[in-house]
Amino acid sequence: MKNIIFTVIAVSLIMIPILLFLEIILPIFDNRGETIWRKDLHNKDLDIINSDIFFSNWNFDTELGWDYSTPSISDEVKYIAESYGASFTASGFSNDKTWQEQFYELSNLGIINLGIGGYGIDQSILKFEQYSRIKNKDVKNIILGLNGQVFSRSVSYYSYYYFFNQSFKYAFKPRFIKDNNEFRLLKIPCHDSECLKHELANLNSATYANLNKYDYWYKKEIEKPILKFPRIISYAKAIPSIIHRLKQRNYLAPTYFEDEESIELAKYLISRFSERAYLKELNPIILLMYDRFGLEGILKGKREDEWLIKFFIENKIAFIDTSPIFINHIKNRGKIEELFLLNGHYSFKGDSLVSLSIYNDINKFKL
């Protein structure tokens, strides 16, 4: 009995200093793992002033969540296409020269830039349905720019839980949901600050009911551990999430298509885009673009969107894959670093390769 008590005391004397030491040093790693900790799930003290600014800002859109003013169009340019998508489509982050402008320099043909930063594929398609041919009746081709993040965003409803950015604290987006085996559109819940304050302050609100049911990233958020004392327990709870992220970084788990629902939704949205374009007597073209992580995966033989390309081929959907020209550049002594900015967007060189990819596949356009 004495030996057991002695062993327990000895182990305790060893473990207590170790645990105290871990508790002291673990806060050093808190910020490095920001995305593994749960955010505040609602805000009773909503900043009404900033919320009012968001809703009164000309970027707020009651249907799309947010939007920009339409670009200027020159009467002296022959435009062959409109391009919709997110920031990789908006482009021009290095020196304001977009891949659309670089395409014009190559071909003397214009592509109207309707890309909007932060969009999901759903928002891009809804914008196309609203805008296309209202002002550009001579355009015959519609480009839908796709990169990995636009698929991840399509299963988001409250954008704050997708972006780690306070500027999206008040931003909801439309979300296509499956109901009775059919997809329908769930619209954004609020058009003013008072509505938003009421909805976010009340965990029993209709908005939270929709978040709990339909927002993939919100549901992921509430599964995350809260960072608090004792840190050791918080970090222990975070281990499965840390392992999953490590698998993603090593291309052992999907990054952009998190589950079967996101794949099914992507197929529906792309089919919808193609069908709506043909109804307007327009030629739909998918433009596949890749971030650095995606390109490095392709270089390693790990491509997450193989099913997507197969889907295009099976359904006879025209697409332009920009990855071959990027990979060829890298393999011919080009550096992948020169293709991207620190914020993850294409550099001037990266945008130039997108424009060249389109130029090389110009036979897919109706001219």
Q: pLDDT tens digits, the chain, 367 residues: what are they?
A: 656 665 656 555 565 665 555 556 656 656 666 678 887 776 666 777 788 888 988 799 999 999 998 888 888 999 999 999 999 999 998 777 999 999 999 999 999 999 999 999 999 999 999 987 566 668 999 999 999 999 999 999 999 999 878 788 899 999 999 988 999 999 999 999 899 988 988 889 999 999 999 999 999 999 988 888 788 888 888 888 889 989 999 999 999 987 888 999 999 999 999 999 999 999 999 999 999 999 999 999 999 999 999 999 999 999 999 999 999 999 998 999 999 999 999 999 999 999 999 999 999 998 7
| pLDDT the model gives residue 77 | 93
* Residue among 337, 359, 339, 362 at smallest CA distance from 351: 339
Q: Write phi, then psi, for 158 (nearest 5 degrees).
A: -100, 110
Is 48-364 a domain of CATH 3.40.50.1110?
yes
Pairing between strand 283-288 and 141-146?
Answer: parallel
Give the helix/strand (H/E) hosting 241. Answer: helix 231-249
pTM of the complete model: 0.92
Q: How far is CA 248 from CA 35, 255, 256, 345, 360, in A?
A: 14, 6, 10, 20, 33
| pLDDT the model gives residue 8 | 57
CA distance 251 to 247: 6
| pLDDT the model gives residue 40 | 73
Specify the residue for token string 């050791």: 232
Strands (E) across 67-209 are located at: 79-85, 110-115, 141-146, 175-179, 182-186
CA distance 314 to 304: 18
